[in-house]
Amino acid sequence: MLGTERGKGALALVLGLLMAGPVSVVAATLDLKQCVAVALKQNPDIQASQAQLAQAEGALRQARGQQWPKLTASVTATRSNDALNAFGLKLAQRNATFNDFGASQFVGPASLPVAPVNLNHPDPVNNYNTRLVVQIPLYNGGLISGYVDQAHAFVKAAQQGDAAARQQVVFRVVQAYQGVHAARAYVKVAQQALAAAEAYVKTSRNLLREGVVVRSDLLSAEVNLGDVRVKLEEARHAQASALDQLHLLLGMPLDQALDVGADFVPSAPSGDIAKLQAEALEANPGVRALRHQLDGAGANVAVAKADYYPHFNAMLRQDWNNPTLRQTAPSYTVAGVLSWSVLDFGVTRGAVDRAEASRSEMQARLRQAEEGVRYQVADAWRGALEAEERVKAREIAVNQAEEAQRLVQKRYENGVANMVEVLSALAQLDKARADLVAARYQLTVQRSALRLAAGQLDAEQL
């Protein structure tokens, strides 16, 4: 419990320092879970997937909003001396008079051919129209419900896409975290080789003074020492590079001091290939995202088919008209609109065909993804078994190489073996140790890849 509290404190310290911006070097030791937590908060891939999820959720709210009545308000100011408009505006204001028809020019039947000046050439009329309109969708052939179903499917797909992105980040963190441990192990191997090389140089000098070996043996030992020192520097550079890669993955400045905690080897998932493949088809977030996208493509077909059916909507409107901003002369309009596209020369058919083709494409992509996951599980499962056997073999090889090197050393000290045999034994031991480091790293990667393919690689399961 105390260790857990210290770990949480270290994580909080690092997150606080990162949020505060550039700071001086502060040492922080993070274990794998803490590294994953930092990466999931700051990794750009996670931020992008969360933005995509937010977009999908916004589209769903937008689609659901189309199911409800829509209220709009408007104010329109108009000035016109157009004969038709001017007379219509006066009617809307309830201000039309007989004189607007040119009544003063009518003096009897003889005036019937006369064109009234007031009617044909009115003075400009000012009008302020205030309007409230309520539009009510009643039936649209499944258009709106299709949009809602499509948006809902895309939200679920985005959620699974976010889960897939998170597991990918976890996998990359595991690789980088264990890469640091592997690099440190290579440094340790190089340091052991350096100690042995220095000891052989010292031994060769002593034996040369005693006349047991020739000077060429000492020169060979010194050349070997120089090579080992170079390899040690290479290993140290690789260690620094591995830490830099972990910095980048965690979104931390490269000058932020960072150390990793305990080594990590994931446990092997239980079950045979068939069981793991079945679990992967159900749990892999990438496959689940494609299934939801297929549902969205099916909803898009329903949207396209909506134009085959009649659409019926209602409208309620309230108007006020006045020559000034004082709104008087209220009026209302109630309307029901029934529309049906009887002939569109294949426009709707083409839209439906395109939507169905898109759904067929998504079905093919889903089948391909499912087979791909089955292959990934089988390949990672076999790779994990191979890595386990390789680790066992490399551990035995190290023990044998250490014993062989010890025996050659004794023989050399007794003047029985030459420097070529000594250097050969050292090289074999160095290779065995390096191979063991690589085998352990591959075991971690293969087991993590298996969990990733099976959809079981997340922060809570580490």
pTM of the model: 0.77
The residue type at 6? R
Task: Average the pLDDT over each of 180-189, 309-318, 341-350, 417-426 and give the range with the smallest value.
Answer: 417-426
Tens digit of pLDDT for each residue in 40-58?
988 888 889 999 999 999 9
Backbone phi, then psi, for 314, in 5-degree steps?
-115, 155
Tens digit of pLDDT for each residue in 349-361?
999 999 999 999 9
Retrieve residue 384's tokens: 């994990």
Q: Identify which of 257, 186, 293, 214 has the alpha carbon closest to the alpha carbon of residue 24.
A: 257
Whether residue 244 is predicted with pLDDT greater than 70 in this model: the reply is yes
DSSP-assigned letter for residue 306: G
- pLDDT number for residue 20: 44
C-beta separation of 186 from 83 below 8 A: no
Going along the chain from its start, the domains and CATH numbers come out as: 35-67+152-254+264-315+346-461 (1.20.1600.10)
Quickly state the pLDDT bin for 251 (edges 50, 70, 90): confident
CA distances (Å), 173 to each of 32, 43, 163, 164, 180, in order? 8, 10, 15, 14, 11
Residue matched to tokens 């977030």: 285
CA 149 – CA 131 distance, rounded (Å): 34
Quickly state the pLDDT bin for 2 (edges 50, 70, 90): very low
- pLDDT number for residue 216: 86
CA distances (Å), 52 to each of 57, 160, 362, in order? 9, 11, 19
Tens digit of pLDDT for each residue in 267-296?
888 888 999 999 999 999 999 999 999 999
Whether residue 333 is predicted with pLDDT greater than 80 in this model: the reply is yes
CA 189 – CA 235 distance, rounded (Å): 9
Quickly state the pLDDT bin for 462 (edges 50, 70, 90): low
CA distances (Å), 81 to each of 100, 101, 104, 130, 338, in order? 13, 15, 20, 20, 35
* Residue 79: strand pairing partners: 126
Quickly state the pLDDT bin for 204 (edges 50, 70, 90): confident
Retrieve residue 344's tokens: 């569109």
Task: Average the pLDDT over each of 3-7, 205-209, 273-277, 454-458 and give the range with the smallest value.
Answer: 3-7
- pLDDT number for residue 206: 86
- Exposed, middle or buried, 43 (CB in 10 Å: 0-12/13-18/19+)? buried
Instruction: Report helix, strand or coil for 341.
Output: coil
CA 90 – CA 78 distance, rounded (Å): 12
The residue type at 69? P
Tens digit of pLDDT for each residue in 110-157?
778 888 888 899 999 999 999 999 999 999 999 999 999 999 999 999
108 Rama sector, left if φ>0, alpha if ψ -120 to 50, beta otherwise: left
CB 6: neighbour CB atoms within 10 A? 11
CA 29 – CA 10 distance, rounded (Å): 7
Rounded mean pLDDT of the chain? 88
Retrieve residue 275's tokens: 């069981």
CB 225: neighbour CB atoms within 10 A? 18
Retrieve residue 57's tokens: 């959720």
Cα 251 versus chain centre, distance: 16
CB 230: neighbour CB atoms within 10 A? 11
* Residue 29: strand pairing partners: 259
